[in-house]
Structure 1
Amino acid sequence: MTVWHDVDDVKAVYTPIFGKPQGADKFNDDLAFGRQRLASLNSSLISLCTTIPEKFGVTEELIKPFLEGMTMSKAIEENKLFIIDLEILEGCPAKTETHVITCPFALFYFNNDHQLKPIAIQLFQQKGPDNPVFLPSDPPYTWLLAKMWYNLADATYHQALTHLNFTHLMMEGICVATNRQLSPSHPMFILLHPHFKYIMAVNAMDFWSLEDYGTLPADLKRRGVLEQSVLTDAYQMRDDALLLYDAIKNYVQKYVTHYYENDSSLQEDNEIQDWGAEIVMSVDDGGAGVKGVKNGGRFETTDHLVMTLTPIIYACSVGHAVANYQQYEEYGDPFNYPFIMHGVPPKEKGEVSIETILQSIATKDELLKLMAITKLLSEKDKQKLGDFEELTFTDPPAIQILEEFQQNLRDIGKTIDERNKLREPAYDWLHPRTIPNSISI
């Protein structure tokens, strides 16, 4: 096993072939850790905190120094406290008996400078003397180690659910249903086909629901972060993604209402009704098992169909882009977003040495393998959203609808360019020119 001598020894692995990941520019940086919750790979977990869970050992006394003179109740009242609860990972089996997966709570404060900062981390669900609440006032490397173990859990959720399950696997089931139930000449097949182009080559629904989790505005509202008055100017993923979601919805709505002039024509379309039935059918019965489809997959109105197609196209393009293309920049630095941790999580708040940190991170061989994989996964398809390799649209009105969508995307790109002039750092991950049509890797 390679022994890391110091932090610079780790940084020396970044050769010109790979390049230095963006995460390597930060070390034990609370602002960078907060920004990961809003503009990184897994930025759909954070929720507005309206109460402290009983299992989370946070008290007024513990976090008072980090609230800029506020009481905890006042911070909650003013929408300044945010929480992530990874209870879903409790009892999750690890790769080997020596690996540990935490199931943490993390609490964040949105300060007067519009910056999100971590103020408390508890690494396991049940509070107790061997499961302390770690704080920014703890010894520096103790606090760093707590953040790293938190990020290991976040990475586990990201890869298993946000990335693999909610994009690749879910969309694969819908792709199969599309090819089974819709003929290649069907207008809805033509609409969906560019967004399913490579999914089968690269690849039991749980709590995930198309209506609650897959529909971006509903997901943001469920987490209490839809309104611009919450996390103002800081939640870049939300702000840019909403522009794209609305553009996709507008595009789909125009397209659907062009082919279905009234609800009766939709209700009489056996192909699309059979498609709806299959995507909601349980996996055991041969369906895709998607929950939360409008009207149980029986499309009585064009709105039912629009509200089903929109999150599907969004997930194949924007949703996957959010979850995938920053992987090298984030996972490439083992202090920034650990994908592997050795040893055990800290059970007390005593002093931790840099040697302990170096022994906890991935070995050189592990890090180089991870860099190679994530560099490959971060490569983008050349065909950006709305720009199809083959012209599947031949109907002149449909071509016009597509061209209007493309223009809307260009306008969104200009808006994001203007926003980035005021952002530090800039957020380019949801610029339309960087988003592929489909899950191609």
Structure 2
Amino acid sequence: MDAIREMLLRPVNAVSSLLDVRDRPQYRLHVITGDRRGAGTDANVYVVLHDIHGRATRPLASNKVFRNDNERGATTTVDISTDEGLQGPIIKVEVWRDNFADIKLFSAISGALFGQKSKRGSASWFLDRIEIEEVIPQNNNTLASDDNLCEGVEENGIGGETPVTVHKAPGGGRVWVFPLQRWVAAHKKYTIHLHDCFLPQHDPDKERRAGDIQGKRELYKYEQKVKGGPAQIENLPSDEKFSEEYYWTFATEKLNLLAKTKLIEWTTNKWRTLDDLRKVYNESLGEPKCMSVWQEDWWFGLQRLQGVNPNVIAACKKIPEKFAVTEETVSGLLDDMSLAEALEKNKLFICDLEITEGLPHKDNAELASPFALFYLNKEDKLLPVAIQLKQQGGADNPVYTPKDPANTWLVAKMFYNNAEAQHHQALTHLGYTHLLMEGVVICTHRNLSPSHPLFKLMAPHFLFLLAINTRGLEKLVSPGGWVDNCMTQGLEGIFEHMRRGFERWSFEREGQVEKELEARGVLDKDILPYYPYRDDAIPLYNAIKKYVGTIVRHHYDTPDKLSGDYELKWWREELVKPRDQNGVGLKDIPGNAEEGFTSVEQVVDTISSIISICSLGHAAANFQQYEQYSFVPNYPGILFGEIPKEKRNYTEEDLMALLPSKRMTLDIMVITKLLSNRGTKSLGDFEMQYLYDPVGVNAAKEFQKDLKRLSLEMKKRNIDRQWEFEWLDPEIVPNSISV
């Protein structure tokens, strides 16, 4: 303790005595305004700095005459002279603003002198953080070269006060960071302690903290917009709206895609031939790779292992009674094995889409509820051997196999994929990522203060999620929208599908990657050797869990810290509360109602799951949508006509009659292309920094190293894969669900 105290005070004592007064380090104040809509202000901003010795500066104005300071996303810098008497470390700052309203005069003067205009007509201000930089004089070689003053030193509790941490600035001095990340009201003084990262029971400003949460509960309110549906936001808070840059990038991309298709004659007519359909891709948005292989059985098998919906395939231990597969059905399709031998040797796998049975659907498009049986052959390739398009076998519901006429078998595969596409959009994509996490985001804002380390840990993974959900429901999942027009289940069907799925979702199964794989019997590589989704998802999930664990275990290093965290108890309580009672309705979250989380590992697992769903879960389900959906026969979101009831042969004309019109095909192409574009940064490269304490900063750096290593490993694996699978490469996976 004495050694650390001596080191922290050396600029005041041992070193400063050797220097002339004019060579003492000065300080530089950096005021960083947040990059969100309406964040800037023309008000007068004042800051007071406090050092560890109890000294404080006079109020320092963070404004310069005739300058548009404190604007959105901008940094305002003020030099602090030695006359202020500070002798760091700096442990807290005070900040406030007035309600300056003479905007017109200011705009006129600044416009006349500098050609600038005030960007805002009010004094609203979102302060991201304040940084205090120690400026080392150029002739002060002693301080500039003394690394001990500048490397992550933490002293927990000098005199029982706030931890002091020293970070190195580019100029060799120290930097102290004071994040606020809140809206600053006029004439209200805000005290920000170093790093602003406290469990609620340890926060020196509990009154402000309680006010923050109460304010958030007024802004973030639940609404169950569909009966039995997910918990959603009642009204989108302004803080959650897209940044102007992101919004215009998104809108411009859609216009660009539409422009690329403008020379093609898109009508409500049907396609005449498959060749006619193939031609339009090179002339517009690009040819998906599957176009040359979509009819192949090996490709149909690969879709289960590395397509957009890789969470359905399961080990088959017994043929379901409703699935009318017999030895005769698959004779000759299992190499030299009988059906019984293939089952015993774990060579059979099944997809059962019972959940789609009886779903509402469009009047002119029936929806299957199929079984599909797959065989792992001697070359370890997964091949389809039987498909039944409805749950209950019978004379009008035959089992289709590769022994049937080519187009008969092809149509069975298309109707299976059509049913799975409904499952993909309703659950794997929209339901289990976008909408499930919407409730979690609302719950987090309502119960965890922005000063809570767990809020700071999760917040980067919530970026734009509420905004994209709000926009998506308005444009895509609405009457007359894309889902209503271009999916067999239509609007009514997708919401019923989601309701069924939410009733089944469990944290103990779907919430954790390895447990979900284990539940389907496909975790073991000896059982299913080739499974790119599994082989990339597990190490990525483990990297996330390592990162989360480092931070969570640091902040809950004693049992009393966990048991005393009342905000965490509120958070868990609302996560499990039923959706019709203003909760998120998540099932099987660890812990109990009386104590909340009962171990640190339960907290690690829960937060790892949330970050995983927001990153790798969404990436796996979303970014190859154009590759799978755009060439409609490959993975049809909609097919017209009745489900086949007999094994009749199909002509090409019959096949084309099943497909959507040219106009509908365009809609599918443009929307899936738009959804497949990534608009935010890669996982670990955070758009907004929240954690500034040394443990959080170092954990993030280690996380980034792990992700870089994983990216290289995944690229190497792709060299030898049957088909490239890049969708869980950390360079591809974003931090959040923002598209």
TM-score (norm 2): 0.59
- Pair 1:183 & 2:449 matched: yes
Partner of 1:334: 632
* Aligned equivalent of 1:218: 515
Match of 2:718 in 1: 420
- Measure, in 1, the Cα distance between the counterparts of 2:644 and 2:343: 29
- Tell me the CA shift for residue 38 of structure 1: 0.4
The answer to whether the Cα contact below 8 Å between 1:280 and 1:296 also exists between their aligned partners in 2 is: no
Is 1:120–2:416 an aligned residue pair? no
User: Does the CA contact (< 8 Å) of 2:295 and 2:410 recur in 1?
Assistant: yes
Alignment of 1:200-215 (within 5 A): 200-203=466-469, 205-215=502-512
CA distance in 2, matches of 1:105, 1:30: 16
- State the superposition RMSD in angstroms: 1.1
2:356 to 89, 92, 105: 89
Which of 566, 578, 583 aligns to 1:287? It is 583
User: 1:153 — aligned with what?
Assistant: 419
CA distance in 1, matches of 2:276, 2:538: 41
State the partner residue of 1:19.
Answer: 286
Look up the equivalent residue of 1:74 and give its one-letter code: E
Does structure 2 retain, via aligned residues, the 8 Å contact 1:212–1:292?
A: no
| Cα-to-partner distance string for 1:336-371 (whole Å, 9 max, x where unaligned) | 101110111211112111111111011111110110
Confirm or deny: 8 A CA contact 2:592 2:598 kept in the other structure: no
| Structure-2 separation of matches of 1:428 and 1:364 | 30
Distance 2:716 2:706 in 1: 15
Residue in structure 2 matched with residue 267 of structure 1 by the alignment: 563
Q: Following the alignment from structure 1 to structure 2, what is the Cα–Cα distance between the partners of residues 122 and 38?
A: 20
- Kindly provide the amino acid, as one letter, of the partner of residue 215 in structure 1: Q
**Counterpart amino acid of residue 571 in structure 2:** W
3-state SS in 1 of match to 2:275: helix
Q: Which residue identity is paired with 2:540?
A: L
Query: Equivalences for 1:53-132 in 2 at 5 Å?
Result: 53-94=320-361, 96-132=362-398
Distance in 2 of aligned mates of 1:71 and 1:15: 45
Per-residue deviation, residues 379-410 of structure 1 (Å, max 9, x unmatched): 11331111101221210111001111110111
What letter matches 2:330 in structure 1? I
What amino acid is the match of 1:130? D
In the other structure, the counterpart of 2:598 is: 300
Q: Distance in 1 between matches of 2:701 and 2:692?
A: 12
The alpha-carbon distance between structure 1 residues 296 and 63, as it changes in their structure 2 partners (threshold 3 A), is farther
Find out whether 1:37 has 2:333 as its counterpart: no
Opposite residue 267 of structure 1, the aligned amino acid is: S
Where do 1:369-380 residues align within 5 Å? 369-380=667-678
SS in 2 for 1:241: helix
Letter in 2 for 1:157: H
- Structure 1 residue 310 and structure 2 residue 605: aligned? no
Q: What CA distance in whole angstroms lies between the structure 2 residues aligned with 1:2 and 1:296? A: 58
| C-alpha distance in 2 between matches for 1:56 and 1:164 | 29
In 2, Cα distance between equivalents of 1:437 and 1:97: 40
SS of equivalent to 1:228: coil
Alignment-derived partner of residue 137 in structure 1 = 403
Deviation, 1:300, is 1.2
In structure 2, C-alpha distance between the alignment counterparts of 1:350 and 1:114, rounded to whole Å: 32
1:4 and 1:10 in contact (8 A); partners too: yes
Q: Distance in 1 between matches of 2:544 and 2:401?
A: 42
Which position in structure 2 is the counterpart of 1:227?
Answer: 524
Give the counterpart letter for 2:453 in structure 1: P
Deviation at 1:437, TM superposition (A): 0.5
Paired residue type of 2:629:
Y
**Contact persistence 1:196–1:439 (CA under 8 A):** yes
1:163 aligns with 2:163: no
Structure 2 alignment gaps of length 5 or more: 1-267, 470-498
Q: Report the secondary structure of 1:398's partner residue.
A: helix
Any idea what SS the aligned residue of 2:349 has?
strand
**In structure 2, what is the Cα distance between the partners aligned to 1:331 and 1:376?**
12
Partner of 1:196: 462
Do the aligned partners of 2:680 and 2:738 also contact (CA within 8 Å) in 1?
no
Tell me the secondary structure at the aligned position of residue 211 of structure 1.
coil
Compute the displacement of 1:413 (Å): 0.9
Write out aligned runs for 1:349-388 (5 A): 349-388=647-686
Cα distance in structure 2, aligned partners of 1:230 and 1:364: 43
Percent of aligned positions that are identical: 44
Which moves more between the two structures, 307-316 or 414-423? 414-423
Give the SS at the match of 2:329: helix
Matched residues in 1 for 2:559 and 2:651: separation?
A: 67
Q: Structure 2: how far apart are the matches of 1:191 and 1:434?
A: 21
Question: What code does the residue aligned with 2:732 have?
Answer: T
Quote the offset at 1:376 in angstroms: 0.7
The answer to whether the Cα contact below 8 Å between 2:294 and 2:300 also exists between their aligned partners in 1 is no
Please state if 1:255 is matched with 2:548. Answer: no
Aligned residue for 1:61, secondary structure, equals coil
Q: Is the 8 A contact 1:134 1:146 kept in 2?
A: yes
User: Is the 8 Å Cα contact of residues 210 and 292 (structure 1) preserved in structure 2?
Assistant: yes
What secondary structure, in the 3-state scheme, does the structure 2 residue paired with 1:10 have? helix
CA contact (8 A) 1:317 1:385 kept: yes
Kindly provide the CA deviation profile for residues 38-97 of structure 1, in whole angstroms up to 9, marking residues without a partner as x.
001000011000000000010011112110010112111211100011111111000x22
The whole-number CA distance in structure 2 between the counterparts of 1:264 and 1:25 is 61
User: In the alignment, is the contact (CA less than 8 A) between 2:680 and 2:735 conserved in 1?
Assistant: no
| 1:245 and 2:538 matched | no
Deviations 1:226-253 (A, max 9, x none): 1111210x20000010010111111111
CA distance in 2, matches of 1:407, 1:296: 36
Q: Deviations over 1:188-221 (max 9, x none)?
A: 0000001111110011531101111111111011
Larger Rg: 2
Unaligned runs of at least 5 residues, structure 1: none
Is residue 270–residue 660 contact of structure 2 (8 Å, CA) maintained in 1? no
Q: TM-score, normalised by structure 1?
A: 0.98
Task: Write the distance in 2 (CA, Å) between the matches of 1:118 and 1:27.
Answer: 14
Q: Secondary structure at the match of 1:188?
A: helix
Contact in 2 for aligned 1:23/1:332 (Cα 8 Å): no
Whichever structure has more strand as a proportion of its residues is 2
Letter in 2 for 1:395: D
* Alpha-carbon separation, structure 1, partners of 2:559 and 2:290: 51
Measured in 2, the distance between the counterparts of 1:345 and 1:99 equals 8
Give 1:423 deviation, angstroms: 1.0
The residue correspondences of 1:381-420 to structure 2 (distance < 5 A) are: 381-420=679-718
Between the aligned partners of 1:66 and 1:54, the Cα distance in structure 2 is 21
Structure 2 SS opposite 1:52: coil
Cα distance between partner residues in 2 of 1:270 and 1:402: 26
Moved over 6 A (4+): none
Task: Give the whole-Å Cα distance in 1 for the aligned partners of 2:648 and 2:466.
Answer: 50
Cα drift, residue 426 of structure 1: 1.9
Q: Secondary structure at the match of 2:550?
A: helix
Could you say which residue in structure 1 is the equivalent of 2:622? 324
CA displacement, residues 290-316 of structure 1 (integer Å, 9 cap, x when unaligned)? 012112471111011011111111000
Deviation of the 1:16 alpha carbon = 4.7
Q: Cα offset for 1:268?
A: 0.7
Q: Distance in 1 between matches of 2:560 and 2:527?
A: 42
Letter in 2 for 1:49: C
In structure 2, the residue corresponding to 1:108 is in which secondary structure?
strand
